[in-house]
Structure 1
Amino acid sequence: MTTSSEAEKLIVVTGASTGMGASTARELARRGFHVLAGVRRESDADTVRAAGIEPVILDITDSGHVEALAARVADDPRPLHALVNNAGIQVNAPVETLPLTEWRRVFEVNLFGHIAVTQALLPALLRSKGRVINISSVGGKYAMATYGAYAGAKFALEAVSDSLRREVAPLGVQVVVVEPGGVRTKIAARGIATANDLAARMTPEQAERYGGLVLANNELMATGTASGLTPDAAAQVVVKAVTIRRPRARYTAGRDAALIMRLGPMLSDRMLDRVLAANLRRHRPKGTAFAHAG
């Protein structure tokens, strides 16, 4: 339940330009918090600025931006109630074909950037006995084909969250992971465009091996996103993690995420391989083929 004291608390939300981050910022502001909404461009700042929402220019991979955010929080008399690490990118390609520069970029944004912001704001969170909310994914538990880099960073974020939770719980800081399934945001469309760009750079031999897989996965991403949660619905899960007095260590967001998390542990690795391969084949464009798993 929201109280009047929440108007005297700060919350930082990274990746708040659009989608789930923007929806989370709006809902938290509606509930009376003062939200520092991380955006990468001035044009995005103009879009998200509203009562209770203060945009801050923030590229979480830029140390200067992170230092400026920490200084902004330190200068504010209001306590920092929560940090919502939401910024992220999606890059899909087979392990063989994804350049190392892209692997590093994914990990810089989806893992190291979150660690940098968390390190910078932990002193404030320790003072206020606040909480860290890390936005992971079902991909943080189960890695589908072409998701090596994305899932790898999310798996790592899950591990870092577990370690951090056990380190700071005795100090009064709570760490919560939110694991969404499909959400109707722009990240999937951008991910498909990136996947197509990377596929165009494959050698003819790689294209023969993986071309059908990439096309099928793009179709699966598009349909999964279209049938997923709205950003506002996903944001409600994040807001619950921010506001509930005794949060769980993990929350799923969406029926697909809940189903995967329940069924996954019941299946052997080989059985799960076959289930995922069969699902991909349903989305394979006519006239294409890719290797059969299992």
Structure 2
Amino acid sequence: MTTSSETQELVVVSGASTGMGAATARELARRGFHVLAGVRRDSDGMSLRTEGIEPVILDITDPDHVAALTARVDQDLRPLRALVNNAGIPGAGPVEVTPLSEWRRIFEVNLFGHVAVTQALLPALLRGKGRVVNITSLNGRISMAGYGPYAASKFAMEAVSDALRNELAPHGVQVVVVEPGGVKTEMSRVGLAALSRLDDGMTPEQNARYGTLMQAIPSHVAAFTKAGVTSEVAAKRIAKAVTDGRPRTRYTIGATAAFLILASRILPDRVLDRMTTSDLRRHYPAKARGRTTAAPASRR
């Protein structure tokens, strides 16, 4: 591993407190980078700090935090090799019953916060001919019943990535998207707590429409997460997106993501709807699995 401050390059990783972000920070440090690892609390930074990893307090929705990160990068003589936009929050629930305040909260982190950090660090990335690596999701390519808020924010991040890739290509900055499927992290647990609060606020009419779907989502998320890859496996894929000499525009993480994203490109929408609805229905309460109206298929 390269340890000389004269030869190391900088990499910024947001959302590095735990899980995939923390594993990515460690993997990049092992590969010789000096990682500025964005964490929310000092305690997270203490557990992460090691050779090659410098924790920085970073809430990507806080302009003061973003400004402090930018100042830290600008004062360093080493080039900024990459910005890994990894921070994110989950968000499940039917479109009808998810409050607008929750939509805005999800987009504030999963989209606007990343745009803010990218805008702030682009001068350094342009100077160093660096790279933007945006962590989106399988749900940035495929949406389904009950996952609209989260999927919408990830679809939006995919669109921003496409625009940014074309805008920056003439100036030597590459933009890469990484699309994870299931990854064994704590993110799903946090999302299910919010889902429970949403369930409590539904009207009787909404409960009649979406009650079985709401019961299915926790089981579906748990099964998807259990079948996923470890954070360490995901981190190696993200590090590849950072270091490949001629990177692809998109990398997937996990066989499920690769299969479903390919299926979304070749299957008609109605067929894909039936596929995703059938997968969800396996997690319905037993008495509801035979019904056809409990969870309407998604419309793309």
TM above 0.5, yes or no, is yes
Matches for 1:206-225 after TM superposition, within 5 Å:
206-225=206-225
Matches for 1:138-287 after TM superposition, within 5 Å:
138-287=138-287
Question: Which 10-residue stretch deviates more, 106-115 or 283-292?
Answer: 283-292
What CA distance in whole angstroms lies between the structure 1 residues aligned with 2:126 and 2:182? 33
- What is the SS of the residue equivalent to 2:221? helix
> Residue 27 in 1 paired to residue 27 in 2?
yes
Matches for 1:51-62 after TM superposition, within 5 Å:
51-62=51-62
Question: Which 10-residue stretch deviates more, 245-254 or 140-149?
Answer: 140-149
If the length of structure 2 is used for normalisation, what is the TM-score? 0.94
Q: Percent identity?
A: 61
Deviation of residue 292 (structure 1)?
Answer: 4.7
What CA distance in whole angstroms lies between the structure 2 residues aligned with 1:8 and 1:293? 50
- What is the SS of the residue equivalent to 2:60? coil
Letter in 1 for 2:245: R
Indicate the residue corresponding to 2:100 in structure 1: 100
Indicate the residue corresponding to 2:77 in structure 1: 77
Q: Deviations over 1:67-97 (max 9, x none)?
A: 0000000011111100000000001010000
Indicate the residue corresponding to 1:9 in structure 2: 9
- What is the SS of the residue equivalent to 1:291? coil
Distance 1:275 1:216, change over 3 A: same
CA contact (8 A) 2:183 2:228 kept: yes
Q: Deviations over 1:98-155 (max 9, x none)?
A: 0000000000000000000000000000000000000000111111111111111111
- What is the SS of the residue equivalent to 1:43? helix
Deviation of residue 3 (structure 1)?
Answer: 6.9
What CA distance in whole angstroms lies between the structure 2 residues aligned with 1:262 and 1:273? 15
What CA distance in whole angstroms lies between the structure 2 residues aligned with 1:34 and 1:292? 48
Distance 1:291 1:148, change over 3 A: closer
Deviation of residue 273 (structure 1)?
Answer: 1.0
What CA distance in whole angstroms lies between the structure 1 residues aligned with 2:35 and 2:138? 27
Deviation of residue 58 (structure 1)?
Answer: 0.3
What CA distance in whole angstroms lies between the structure 1 residues aligned with 2:231 and 2:95? 30
Indicate the residue corresponding to 2:295 in structure 1: 291
Letter in 1 for 2:105: R
Runs of 5+ in structure 1 lacking a partner? none
- What is the SS of the residue equivalent to 1:37? strand
Letter in 2 for 1:62: D
Runs of 5+ in structure 2 lacking a partner? none
The number of aligned residues is 293
Indicate the residue corresponding to 1:131 in structure 2: 131
CA contact (8 A) 2:2 2:33 kept: no
- What is the SS of the residue equivalent to 1:8? coil
Letter in 2 for 1:270: R
